[in-house]
A and B are shown apart, each in its own frame.
Chain A
Amino acid sequence: MAARLMRNILVDIARRRAKGGDGHSIRIVDIAAAEHVAHERARDLVALDDALRGLAERDLRKAQIVELRFFGGLNLEEIAEVIGVASITVSREWAKARAWLHREVARQSPGAPRRR
């Protein structure tokens, strides 16, 4: 379960990409279109990380489920096994967590009024 490490790596790369490279001697050749979109994705990921921190403060179990599912790639049965609840519970928590995160990320996007 490299969930946490993966998450750190990805968010780290995302933060770097969002800032625009770290200036070294090798030109990283990347096609403009893909780069732009990867940029967008990267920013999403940073927003997601922030939102996830917020969720963890309010509802640790939901945040754990999201981490295990989205970053760790575990499916619902597997998460249920680790946390020790029924998979229907995991399913419900996941649905609610997703709704909340989606809203948080939407609020953080540029143009949306900042609210915490």
Chain B
Amino acid sequence: MEHERWTLVDRLLGAALEREPDQRAAFLNEACAGDEALRHEVESLLEHHAGAGHFLESPALELLNATPTADTGARFVDRQLGPYRILSQLGIGGMGEVYRARDSRLGREVAIKIARERFSERVEREARAVAALNHPNICTLHDVGPNYIVMELVEGDSPKGPLPLQEALRIARQIVQALEAAHEKGIVHRDLKPGNIKIKPDGVVKVLDFGLAKVDGAVATQPEDSPRRITATESGVILGTAAYMSPEQARGKPVDRRTDIWAFGVVLYELIVGDRPFRGDTVTDTLAAVVKEEPKWDQVPTSVRRLLRCCLQKDPKDRLRDIADARLLLEDVDTEAAPVRRSRLPWAVAPLFAVAMGIALWAPWRTAAPTLETIQTQVYLPENVNAAGRNFSLSPDGRTLALSAVGPDGVARVWVRSMTSLEVRALPGTETTPNPPPFFWSPDSRFIAYSAEGARLKKVDLAGSPPETLCETKGPNAPGGSWNMDGVIIFGSGSAGLTRVSAAGGAASPVTALDPSRREIRHAYPTFLGDSRRFLYLRTSSTPENSGVYVGALGVKPEDQDSRRLVATTFAPVYVRHADKSGGYLLVMRDGDVVAYVFDEQRTQIVGDPVTVVQQVGSFVASGFFSASARALVYRPSASSQETRLHWWNRKGHFVGNPAQPGRIRAMALSPDGLRAALVRQDSGSADQNIWLWETTRENSTRLTFHKGRANAPVWTPDGRYIVFASTQEGPKNLYKKAANESAKDEVLLKSDQDKVPTSISADGNFLLYTETNAQSKQDIWTMSNLGGGGAERKSAPFQRREFNEGEAQFSPESGTGAPRWVAYTSDETGRPEVYVREFPFNAESDKWPVSKAGGTNPRWRRDGKELFFAAPDGTVMSVEVPLGATFRAGEPKALFRVPAGLRSNWDLTADGERLLVLVPQDAPAPLTVWQNWQAVLSDRQPRRQ
């Protein structure tokens, strides 16, 4: 009874939420038909839905660590503190908040820590002493005030182990130099830990927060500075600093330089091993370990053991005395260079696009890895074929690549591409779900099994005969499957265990069952072992200690399947077996790389540590973008090139011009007269974006905004004099206005806690339409009036505010400078984005005219208002005629031409609608890379520590 009731309430609540707020009461009246208790229940839930505000919007970790409310943080932003203008909050520290600010005297950016209380005289004195330090590895203090400290702004990450020895020592040397310089001046750090160490993009190490830990004579334990640094293996926030305390600190005794040496030892240990030397579940346990336990030495290379032992002597009298001694000991360490080997050149293969590449894909602050020579080729697809990111699967014989792609008709199907020629084709009749999970092959490389439309699992043969249904799948997709030598197929599910079915089709039966006691959500991505009886698969659970790769077997009852986890991961396993069936390689994603575990089928276990196969491979949730067979490995790198170019096209979609232009363009908006464009360009060397003005006939552009953060979405006023744009310089995207000449000042239009993006300005220059993302993460359309300013206050009001996502609103152009009459916009109220037109200003009684019939986004009016353009889901530019009249009437949408994938919203029209300025990506999303004979390299590789 209870369950039925719940389902009923759930359904009614859902239905009520679909309706506009003012219609819900009436709906409930009808639906509840006199059951007052039921209606009350649903209404109270509706109230809480409306009143939930920011509830659950911040991830849990930030909630617990952050100081009070957003108010406190925003308290200082945008204020002037002497010569410093506070720009944004960087984080929370133990004693106060840290902000990014600009020093107006020197024109440079700094970090300011503002404490909640005034400093004691002692703290101030210490701070001044630290300020007198001047060393490249020490974060410089610029200024000290009664309750604030101004310091060098250091951009970079804290180091995290395990690191290769060479790299850990490189970092250690710089820390030592910092400590040496400070100790010489009598300053002790007292709170050295990875959180206080940052590696700048150029590789230079900076130590932060010298001497600031001491407050009131007792030792302060601070929560970690940045909540996001917490790793899953740490046992808690408060323990962050306890783990680095020396035994004498733990006992409350006074500290001196030897405390720093201890902490240095702990940090170096952690960088090398990847775990802390002293751990415990509570503060007390951790400190007990610090005082009594010895760290495990077996994972520490012998060359550094002596140094570490000297640093980690419990009695300060026995400890390394002087950090300078550490430096000498460091110099003695034998550097273990990783072996530099060359792989054998693979057997001759000469596809058209063979490229020789060295692999040196380390993050910038790591030392360059020795390069290995390999031959890699790239897979290019024809222009009108759009392959989704993650779905590509190599046949067992390595000859064919099956992948999901959308062809010119906008439908996703199974495509196959030969690996030995350039042939690529779609298999007819293979309509798949819109975003299918990876397909899988029959062992003889003849058939491909896939998730078809309509929740079915189907198979199709390479020759292209009509596909056959195997069975129904529980959810819309079957995440992963495998086909053994005996004609048995098993496949995964989004909400259940694995299922088996015969390759000839027929009845399906469960193979594994979810274990609720382990909070399992699904079993997926099975892959058979050599004996065609056992298989590896992924169990996804809410508990990390239960998520991972497991072994199962056919012929075993679902509840009796082995529950011993082989590999901890949340990614799909890919298994490549050795020809002799003794075992194979188990490939999974780890930290963005593909790693290989050696698997012994006889003993059913993993042997040794994993080896990195390819670095920086793309992934999404549980799928890494790679597929492997014995001979070849295909993958899609995660780096994308991001080069773009502006082209002129005509209405037929033909390229008509390639104007001279600057680089790093991300978006643009043509000026009303079509002679200029506002470009969004990425700053060189940083992730910031700013707006530049470009005359379409010249190569150079002039910079308009100087924002730190991202300035985007430029919209011109109809007179071409001003540009309204969004920027993240001062928090979530806020709205600004600026005259379209570089000497003008930014004018703030609207600042608030929500993201806002401008979309259109009315012909009379009075109104602005913008899209705001509300607290429930839905997009709404808003209007701002009195845009021109001039005395009258600007007011913002919602145009529409509903449960769905609505945006991309565009005013209809009016003749002369009349007030706007219509607004074209996009809404996903039907479940898929469509273009609609409504009257302006918004009137609940007025009609809503649908413009697109089968999906549409990015509406654009022609400047005489007689035509409305929009983009169809597959990217085709559609046009609709709009006869002028008192009411709105739209004709049938007509396809104009196709725009290649990825371009969907980056084009703009000239006033007469005859030409478009289109932003074309120079490289498609990183092309698939094929690596022949990848296994040959594995034996040369050093295993990486887990």
Contacts and interface: CB of A to CB of B under 8 A. Distances in A.
Interface of A: 1-7, 9-10, 12-14, 22, 24-31, 33-34, 37-38, 41-42, 44-45, 58-59, 61, 64, 66-74, 78, 81-86, 88, 92, 95-96, 98-103, 105-106
Contact of A10 (B61, B68, B493, B494): B61
A34 B65 CA distance: 10
A71 B60 contact: yes
Question: Which 4 pairs between the two chains have the least Cβ-Cβ distance?
Answer: A84-B494, A2-B232, A99-B49, A4-B543
A14 B64 contact: yes
Of A42, A45, A64, A99, most B-chain CB atoms within 10 Å: A99
Interface stretch (B280-288, B527-535, B671-679, B811-819): B280-288
B542 A64 contact: yes
30 contacts: A1-B544, A2-B544, A3-B544, A6-B232, A9-B235, A10-B64, A12-B236, A13-B236, A26-B218, A26-B221, A28-B238, A29-B215, A29-B221, A33-B67, A34-B67, A41-B63, A42-B64, A58-B3, A59-B6, A61-B495, A64-B542, A66-B56, A67-B542, A78-B620, A85-B495, A95-B803, A96-B14, A99-B46, A99-B52, A103-B44
B760 interface: no
Contacts of A95: 17, 49, 776, 803
A69 B622 CA distance: 16
A4 B541 contact: yes
A7 B59 CA distance: 11
B249 to A, nearest CB: 8
B292 interface: no
Given A83-B522, A96-B45, A99-B48, 19 more contacts: A2-B232, A5-B543, A5-B544, A9-B236, A24-B283, A24-B284, A26-B250, A26-B252, A28-B238, A31-B117, A33-B68, A45-B64, A82-B521, A82-B621, A92-B14, A95-B776, A96-B49, A99-B46, A101-B56
A41 B64 contact: yes
The contact size tier of chain B is 35 or more
Interface in B1-31: 2-3, 6, 10, 13-14, 17
Contacts of A14: 64
Given A33-B116, A64-B542, A38 B14 contact: no
Given A9-B235, A41-B63, A84-B495, A98 B52 contact: yes
A68 to B, nearest CB: 7
Of A4, A7, A72, A106, most B-chain CB atoms within 10 Å: A4
Interface in B455-505: 475-477, 479, 493-495
B353 interface: no
Nearest to B494: A84
A71 B218 CA distance: 34
B218 A99 contact: no
B831 interface: yes
A80 B92 CA distance: 33
B287 A1 contact: no
B51 interface: yes
A106 B48 contact: yes
A68 B542 contact: yes
Contact of A103 (B45, B242, B803): B45
Given A5-B545, A82-B622, A86-B476, A27 B218 contact: yes
Contacts of A96: 10, 13-14, 17, 45, 49
Nearest to A73: B59
A72 B831 CA distance: 26
A42 B218 CA distance: 26
Contacts of B477: 84
B519 interface: yes
A26 B220 CA distance: 9
Contacts of A38: 64, 67
A51 to B, nearest CB: 11
Interface in B339-365: none
B276 to A, nearest CB: 16
B567 interface: no
B237 interface: yes
A96 to B, nearest CB: 5
A78 B475 CA distance: 16
A81 B45 contact: no
Of A27, A37, A102, most B-chain CB atoms within 10 Å: A102
B46 A83 contact: no
Contacts of B541: 4
B283 A22 contact: yes
Secondary structure class of chain B's binding surface, majority of residues:
loop
B219 interface: yes
A100 B10 CA distance: 10
B570 interface: yes
B95 A31 contact: yes
Interface in B523-575: 540-545, 547, 570
A115 to B, nearest CB: 11
Contacts of A73: 59
Contacts of A13: 64, 236-238
B35 interface: no
Contacts of B6: 58-59
B760 to A, nearest CB: 27
Given A9-B236, A99-B13, A88 B831 contact: yes
A82 B293 CA distance: 42
A86 B521 CA distance: 16
Nearest to B215: A29
Of A5, A34, A70, A83, most B-chain CB atoms within 10 Å: A34
B522 A4 contact: no
Of A1, A6, A33, A98, most B-chain CB atoms within 10 Å: A1
Contacts of A84: 475-477, 479, 493-495, 522
A28 to B, nearest CB: 5
Nearest to B570: A1
A98 B56 contact: yes
B522 A28 contact: no
Interface string B246-271: 00001110000000000000000000
B52 A64 contact: no
Contacts of A82: 494, 521-522, 540, 621-622
Contacts of B521: 64, 82-83
Contacts of B95: 31
B375 to A, nearest CB: 34
A44 B221 CA distance: 24
Contacts of A6: 60-61, 232
Interface string B418-443: 00000000000000000000000000
Of A6, A64, A82, most B-chain CB atoms within 10 Å: A82
A106 to B, nearest CB: 7
A64 B64 CA distance: 21
Given A1-B542, A24-B287, A34-B116, A85 B238 contact: no
A93 B695 CA distance: 49
Contacts of B237: 13
A37 B68 contact: yes
A59 B17 contact: no
Nearest to A101: B56
A34 B284 CA distance: 23
B542 A4 contact: yes
A29 B220 contact: yes
A111 to B, nearest CB: 17
A81 to B, nearest CB: 4
Contacts of B96: 31
A100 B63 contact: no
Interface in B551-608: 570
B67 A37 contact: yes
B36 interface: no
Of B46, B52, B570, most A-chain CB atoms within 10 Å: B52
Contacts of A74: 621
Nearest to A11: B60
Nearest to B116: A31
Contacts of B63: 41, 44-45
Contacts of B51: 102
Contacts of B10: 59, 96
